[in-house]
């Protein structure tokens, strides 16, 4: 019998320009910002995503589903639904969506509080939003 390797959860913060990426630890307790992947060209994004899935031994992908404050879905949610549908054609790992209301706003506030310059915030906000999304998901299991 081979040793069973611990698996991780990968979170994606979908954007039209960049896709923020975060990963859980093996115990699925802590989310860590990883990187951002340019959303275009789509084929290159898929290649990088598959590399990360392999490297980090990902068993599940979590994608933020944007919702309006009243809980309804807007145009951004439709874009994410389309993204998930296309992703499912290329990626064999199970994909789950998770409510991401305010993750980008929280990420910006966090980076401002950490005195990250405006220029640096731009490149860090996507992966930080993905980490906040993933952490909220991981925390939902802690009773």
pTM: 0.86
The answer to whether position 81 is within a domain reads yes
The answer to whether position 56 is within a domain reads yes
pLDDT score recorded for residue 5: 64
Q: Calculate mean pLDDT across residues 37-42.
A: 94
Nearest to 84 by CA among 75, 96, 76: 96
Report pLDDT digits (tens) over 92-143.
999 999 988 767 778 778 888 888 888 888 778 889 889 988 998 998 876 4
The DSSP secondary structure of 95-143, one letter per residue, reads EEEEE-TTHHHHHHHHHHHTT--HHHHHHHHHHHHHHHHHHHHHHTT--
pLDDT score recorded for residue 104: 73
Helix, coil or strand: residue 21: strand
CATH number of the CATH domain containing 30 = 3.30.420.140
The count of structural domains within the chain is 1
In which domain, by residue range, is 114 found? 8-139
Lowest mean pLDDT among 32-36, 42-46, 51-55, 100-104: 100-104
Q: Calculate mean pLDDT across residues 43-53.
A: 96
The answer to whether position 2 is within a domain reads no
The answer to whether position 1 is within a domain reads no
Half-sphere exposure of 72 (CA within 13 A, CB side): 3
The span from the CA of 96 to the CA of 84, in Å, is 9
Q: Calculate mean pLDDT across residues 21-26.
A: 96
Q: Are 36 and 48 in contact (CB under 8 A)?
A: no
Unique residue bearing structure tokens 């599940």: 60
pLDDT score recorded for residue 2: 55
Q: Are 91 and 53 in contact (CB under 8 A)?
A: yes
Q: Calculate mean pLDDT across residues 73-95.
A: 93
The answer to whether position 106 is within a domain reads yes
Q: Are 8 and 28 in contact (CB under 8 A)?
A: yes
The answer to whether position 3 is within a domain reads no
The answer to whether position 117 is within a domain reads yes
């Amino acid at each position: 019998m081979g040793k069973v390797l611990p698996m991780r959860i990968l979170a994606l913060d979908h954007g039209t320009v960049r896709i923020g990426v975060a990963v859980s630890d093996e115990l699925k307790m802590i989310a860590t910002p990883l990187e951002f992947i340019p959303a275009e060209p789509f084929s290159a994004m898929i290649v990088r995503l598959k590399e990360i899935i392999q490297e980090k031994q990902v068993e599940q992908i979590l994608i933020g589903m944007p919702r309006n404050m009243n809980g309804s879905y807007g145009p951004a949610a439709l874009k994410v639904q389309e993204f998930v549908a296309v992703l499912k054609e290329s990626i064999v790992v199970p994909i789950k969506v998770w409510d991401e209301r305010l993750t980008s706003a929280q990420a910006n506030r966090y980076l401002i509080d950490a005195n990250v310059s405006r220029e640096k915030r731009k490149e860090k906000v996507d992966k930080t939003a993905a980490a906040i999304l993933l952490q909220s998901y991981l925390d939902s299991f802690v009773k």
